[in-house]
Amino acid sequence: MYTLYLSKGSSALAAHILLEEIGAPYDTVVVSIPDKAHLTPDYLAINPKGRVPALQTPQGVLTENTAILAYLAQAHPEHALAPTDTFAFAQAQALNSYISSTLHVAFAHKARAARWADDPVAIAVMQAKVAPNIAEGAQFVEDHLIKEPWALGERYSMCDPYLFLVHRWMAASQVELADYPRLNAHNNAMRARPAVQAALAQHGL
């Protein structure tokens, strides 16, 4: 049994989708970021970073999408969601790490630029860079990091739910998804999956 701590519409959607794909029993606890529930003592006892997602597993709590996605995929090998070849697994981690370290951080400047600056002018400059940075990162993913029809090629994997978030960040940044054929096709394929539909519904999306 897993417990996923999430804020609706947040990056926790990626882990939520993979839980639905796996079909393992889980429940969710909504940690409302707009209501600052992520900063309460109760939640900080679960994740001292004060961020979502967090996943309670039988072994303990995991945080960070890259770790949670890899854990779930490897904990349920019957679904073949993680490459078993060492190099192929490293390539999968490279894709998810790029999404986490580059695209997710770029998008975070849209709503949370105050993490990096106090000066209103500096904040405005950072926010103005969100769309071009997302566009640049999306183009790199399109050209160099993903295959077809799924992120790693013929098989759906632990990378696909995280890549799905990129589509959402592009839309929120007014970056036209149709200009990226591989990403656009991936978005359409993801939205056709029952697990994605179920997770989106639980997030009210």
Map out the domains of the chain as residue ranges.
2-79, 86-193
Structure tokens at 105: 């951080």
Give the neighbor-by-neighbor strand order of the sheet with 2-6.
26-30, 2-6, 54-57, 60-63
Structure tokens at 111: 């709503």
- What would the mean pLDDT of 145-154 be, rounded to a whole number? 95
- pLDDT at position 112: 82
Instruction: Decide if pLDDT at 5 tops 80.
Output: yes
CATH of span 86-193: 1.20.1050.10
Phi and psi dihedrals of 63, rounded to 5?
A: -125, 170
Residue written as token pair 């770029």: 106
28-67 pLDDT, tens digit per residue, is 999 999 899 999 999 999 999 999 999 999 999 999 999 9
Instruction: Decide if pLDDT at 87 tops 80.
Output: yes
7-31 pLDDT, tens digit per residue, is 999 999 999 999 999 999 999 999 9
Query: 105-114, 145-154, 188-197: which range is least confident on average?
Result: 105-114
Are residues 166 and 103 in contact, defined by beta-carbon separation less than 8 angstroms?
yes
Query: Sorting pLDDT into bands at 50, 70 and 90, what band is 118?
Result: confident
- What would the mean pLDDT of 75-83 be, rounded to a whole number? 98
Residue written as token pair 């975070």: 108
Beta pairing class for 54-57 and 2-6? antiparallel
Are residues 74 and 61 in contact, defined by beta-carbon separation less than 8 angstroms?
no
Report pTM: 0.95
- What would the mean pLDDT of 139-160 be, rounded to a whole number? 96
- pLDDT at position 62: 98
- pLDDT at position 117: 84
Query: Sorting pLDDT into bands at 50, 70 and 90, what band is 125?
Result: confident
Architecture of the CATH domain 2-79: 3-Layer(aba) Sandwich (3.40)
